[in-house]
Amino acid sequence: MSSDTGKFGEYGGQYVPEALMPAIEELEDAYERYVLNNEDGFMDEFRQRLADFGGRPTPVQHADRLSERYDCDVYLKREDLLHGGAHKLNNALGQVLLAKYMGKERIIAETGAGQHGTATAMACAHLGMPCEVYMGRRDINRQRPNVFRMRLNDAEVNPVTVGRGTLKEAISETMRDWAANVEDTHYVIGSVVGPHPFPAMVRDFQRVISEEARAQMREKTGGLPDAVVTCAGGGSNTMGVFAEFVDDEDVDLYAVEAGGSSLEVDEEAGVAPNSATLSTGTEGVLHGSRTRVLQDRDGQIMESHSVSAGLDYAGVGPELADLVDSGRVTPANVDDDRAIEGFHRLSQLEGVIPALESAHAVAYVEESQADLGDTVLLNVSGRGDKDLETVLEETHERDIEDAPEMDTFAETGGFQ
């Protein structure tokens, strides 16, 4: 990355309204002082709070039954065991703490699956900061348990009804709030997206995943994995688990996106029935950064789709886009049906119910294990409690391999 411009190859930068530049410059200064240089012991406090409040380190678990199934050693990085049930707390806690060091008095955030909103609400309750979360109406309906969790932590949840009411629109509304309240408000972006310094800063807060995993794999196996596999939406867990492995050329890195229902694009309807930006996107600008995006030939951002709310985004982090362009990261995609199969498979074989986001990576290992080498590290970015309603309905409607018997739910009127 070019430190003075926040560029990753051709991607990155700061494409924001003039009104936001003072806040961006203030944040750049705080990122350099507190995060990069540990001024006033900021990073020491951050890591201590991650341990005491978050429960780090999270374990790496040998997946005995998956390993037997694939005739290779599969290890799970258990970010689902972090406080709140997902990797999102790493970044949320870091940014809310940074906002306090900066003297900010109010926190705003966007959320798709609700995990980032939940993590931000928890961090704000922990650190005594007022919190407002913007969430698309469609995602609110898909993720009601997480909405209630945010409210339990005394956060306001603001429904976004424009467009399809998903993550893209929630980010846009949060940006508008920030532009109007830059003096006392910090925007906790939930992924490695947005204008510099957000992509680098979020990666650095999430880097703890790969710092731990690299050491844990050495301890358990005496070496490094042949492959690291994780899901990719905006890319926060992706860059978190990749960061410390990028320079290890013998470790293959796989970013698994949401293939949705099809990789085709309906330009007339303005819809991409997938969220496979790394596989099918083209260069453009979204939410303050140049990156790969799902767009039509006129540069209009397409509406994306995934059965997983957390992957339903039309862009991706600029650093991840650059790593794909350079050939360091291999993009892949898994469709909705296979993701739901992956959800059931990990639950049945290992007793770990994954988030639908993580289930995409589980499904990719199922179909591609022969190409991944003898030792595979699979990042379980979050737990699947939030997705149970969605998986229940989708399993009933689809012909899902190895799904549990659904007749009991139908007999009791469990389906709408």
Task: Show which residues are catalytic.
Answer: 88, 110, 381
Within 10 angstroms of residue 127's Cβ, the number of other Cβ atoms is 16
Q: How far apart are CA 274 and CA 262, in angstroms?
A: 6
Task: Decide: 234 and 249 in contact? Cβ < 8 Å.
Answer: no
CA distances from 405 to 388, 392, 401 (A): 15, 11, 11
Of 73, 77, 346, the residue nearest 230 (C-alpha): 77
**Angle made by CA atoms 397, 398, 404, in degrees to the nearest 5:** 95
Task: Decide: 373 and 72 in contact? Cβ < 8 Å.
Answer: yes
Using DSSP, state whether 95 is helix, strand or coil: helix
Q: How far apart are CA 63 and CA 169, in angstroms?
A: 38
**How is residue 208 written in tokens?**
């703890």
Q: How far apart are CA 297 and CA 126, in angstroms?
A: 46
According to DSSP, the residues that pair with 377 across neighbouring strands are: 75, 228
**How is residue 323 written in tokens?**
């790593």
Task: Decide: 195 and 289 in contact? Cβ < 8 Å.
Answer: yes
